[in-house]
């Protein structure tokens, strides 16, 4: 039979969860800035607007995945 986590354990988990959500928000914000810059640079280089949007979307997806992988690595792979 599993034991109930203590009040301190639950408080610690809630604090870690709120810190994690702040870091995810920072990662998404940074990825959005990167995507805007990539789309703008693609447009300035002569790409048509749909291609610029695709470049920005690719930059957003790849930078988000990179940031999440870095966060997972620095967290030690804990759940």
Q: What is the mean pLDDT of residues 60-71?
A: 96
What does the pLDDT read at residue 1?
54
Summarize pLDDT for 6-61 with one digit per residue, the tens.
776 676 667 677 888 899 999 999 999 999 999 999 999 999 999 999 999 999 99
Torsion of CA 55, 60, 62, 64, to 10 degrees: 180
pTM, two decimals, is 0.78
Reference 37, options 65, 54, 59; nearest CA is 59
What does the pLDDT read at residue 2?
62
What does the pLDDT read at residue 29?
98
d(CA 50, CA 31): 19
């Amino acid at each position: 039979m599993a034991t109930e986590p203590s009040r301190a354990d639950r408080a610690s988990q809630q604090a870690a969860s709120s810190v994690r959500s702040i870091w995810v928000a920072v990662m998404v914000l940074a990825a959005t800035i990167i995507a805007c810059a990539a789309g703008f640079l693609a447009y300035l280089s002569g790409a048509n607007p749909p291609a610029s949007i695709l470049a920005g979307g690719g930059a957003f997806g790849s930078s988000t995945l990179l940031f999440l992988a870095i966060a997972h690595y620095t967290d030690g792979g804990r759940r």
